[in-house]
A = this chain, B = another copy of it.
């Protein structure tokens, strides 16, 4: 029979207690939690409740489950993106942290972008075409970031082969498209189906989004977003008082 419940649901109670056990070191990072059947035995509740409790922990990023294997405490060492000069944005940064960076191209094709993107890139109304590139950044062989970028057609056509194998900004820099300004928005979301497959994370996993537009001679050249695993990445900012007077516009 279904039992009554008061203020705090059972599944929450259980997940909070396991949470405490993880924090206190009863389960170290990488360790395997007891199997569902053992937890059912231990807590004397139904499987649905245990599963809900574990789902809570997964949602909080403390635990990751693998079908057929078990539930494991996640170990988080975050990769730091430094928000200073956009050109050194990634490669040097990651190299300094001893992280191997590789790249996998998913899509590279001319498309008609959505209205907002057409406006941002100032595409001609009679032929609003741009190259759409999707690529996955792998850090230490694991997918960590999806990059979805719209590129001006002349650039995309000219640099296709290089853009497919390298980071965008350095390649532009190499070919006389000097990036002088980047406007960016940092936000967070949860993984949808497409992203969860690209990044190998469960649906709803927290993700960091870096939406950017890069300018050369006050002309937008690329616009897109980089979506990183929130459990593995973060952004670093240095705000200096003097920057206030200098970058006023």
List residues 207-233 of chain A with CB under 8 A from any CB of chain B.
207-208, 230, 233
A241 partner residues in chain B, CB cutoff 8 A: 85-86, 178-181
| Main DSSP-derived SS at the A contact region | mixed
A104 partner residues in chain B, CB cutoff 8 A: none
Give CA–CA (A12, B56) in the complex, Å.
18
Chain B: which residue is nearest A19 at the CB level?
B192
CB-contact partner of A203 in B56, B191, B238, B240, under 8 A: B56
Chain B: which residue is nearest A236 at the CB level?
B185
Question: Which of A76-84, A119-127, A155-163 sits within the interface?
Answer: A76-84
Size category of the A interface is: 35 or more
Give CA–CA (A1, B221) in the complex, Å.
57
Smallest Cβ distance from A97 to chain B, in angstroms?
14
Chain B: which residue is nearest A194 at the CB level?
B16
B188 pairs with A208, CB closer than 8 A: yes
A230 partner residues in chain B, CB cutoff 8 A: 187-189, 206
**A168 at the A/B interface (Cβ < 8 Å)?**
no
Q: Other CB < 8 Å A-B pairs besides A206-B230, A242-B246, A243-B247, 14 of them?
A: A60-B191, A85-B243, A86-B239, A181-B238, A181-B241, A182-B238, A183-B239, A184-B237, A184-B239, A186-B236, A188-B206, A188-B208, A189-B206, A206-B207
Residues of chain A having any CB pair with chain B under 8 Å: 12, 16, 19, 56, 59-61, 78, 80, 83-88, 178-193, 203-204, 206-208, 230, 233-244, 246-247
